[in-house]
A = this chain, B = another copy of it.
Amino acid sequence: MKKTALLLIDLQKEGGTSDVVGMDGILQNTAELIRACRTMKIPVIYTRHINRSDAVGLANGEPLNEDGTPSYYNSNTDSIEIPDMIKPEATDIIIDKYRYSGFYESNLDLMLKGLGVKHLILGGVLTDVCVLATAMDAYYRDYQINIVEDMCGTTTEGAHMAAMLMMANWIYDIKIFETKQLRKKMNGENYQLWESTAPDQLQFSPENIKEVFSKLKSN
């Protein structure tokens, strides 16, 4: 498991993310995996979503307060900070980003190349936006993606399931883990995972999406 980095997407104090389904568990799983990675000298990289307080460079339609400041991820507030329970060390790489993908107009790719990274362990929020977008952009750049499913979440279970299945279907060398299973792998124990072996393997309908999604969950 050399040349691997843990990439954590937008795990910040932003209150808006309190609506994420299962946020407490996500943070606990993340804290646990960070500890394991640090033990194994796997670099931990954090992205932070930022909206400048003066509203320069916001995405189209980004919600604003009455005073013209951004409602979410305001650079002048501690909403952009990373929670204490998963806080970075002084030497960790922190990537500030202004759009959904961690790669857009940031130095993420430069740093990953500098570290010689090939494999990314990916978790964070929101599964169906920033995690999905960053995973896609990483795949374009030939990184091999490992999603930790229970370290990801979004505002509904439906969107979480659908986004996980899209990544499973279209990132052709993706591996999907639960935190516990990835920990086992890192400990050299037997473990389970879901692994892509062909395009579009997990086709789903509204009727069977729960059942299909359960195939990704290796307990």
- B161 lies within 8 A of A163 (CB): no
A29 interface residue, CB < 8 Å from B? no
Minimal beta-carbon separation of A13 from chain B (angstroms): 18
Choose from B104, B132, B144, B166 the contact partner of A159 (Cβ within 8 Å): B166
Does the CB pair A203–B115 fall under 8 Å? Answer: no
Q: Which residues of the partner chain B approach A158 to less than 8 Å between Cβ atoms? A: 162, 203-206, 208-209
* A84 adjacent to chain B (CB < 8 Å): no
B110 contacts A170, CB within 8 Å? Answer: no
Interface centre among A104, A105, A141 (most CB of B within 10 A): A105
Bound CA span A92–B85, Å: 32
Q: How far is the CA of A104 from the CA of B113 in the complex (A)?
A: 14
A156–B204 contact, CB under 8 A?
A: yes
Chain B neighbourhood of A192, CB < 8 A: none
Tell me how many chains of this kind the complex includes.
4
Residue of B nearest to A144 (CB): B60
User: Does A58 interact with chain B (Cβ within 8 Å)?
Assistant: yes
In the complex, whether A185 has a CB less than 8 A from a CB of chain B is no
- Complex Cα–Cα for A141 and B77 (A): 25
Among residues of B, the one whose C-beta sits closest to the C-beta of A213 is B206
Cα distance A136–B136 in the bound complex, in angstroms: 11
| Minimum C-beta distance from A101 to chain B (A) | 7
Residues of B within 8 Å of A133, CB to CB, are 136
Contact of A170 among B128, B157, B169, B203 (CB under 8 A): B128
Tell me whether A162 and B166 are in contact (CB under 8 A): yes
- Can you pick out 17 interface pairs between chain A and chain B where the beta carbons lie within 8 Å of each other? A56-B114, A60-B139, A60-B142, A60-B173, A62-B172, A99-B140, A101-B136, A105-B107, A106-B106, A128-B170, A133-B136, A155-B200, A155-B203, A156-B205, A158-B206, A161-B206, A206-B210
- The reply to whether the CB of A194 lies closer than 8 angstroms to some CB of chain B is no
Tell me the smallest distance from the CB of A216 to a CB of chain B, in Å.
14
A198 to B101, CA, bound (A): 20
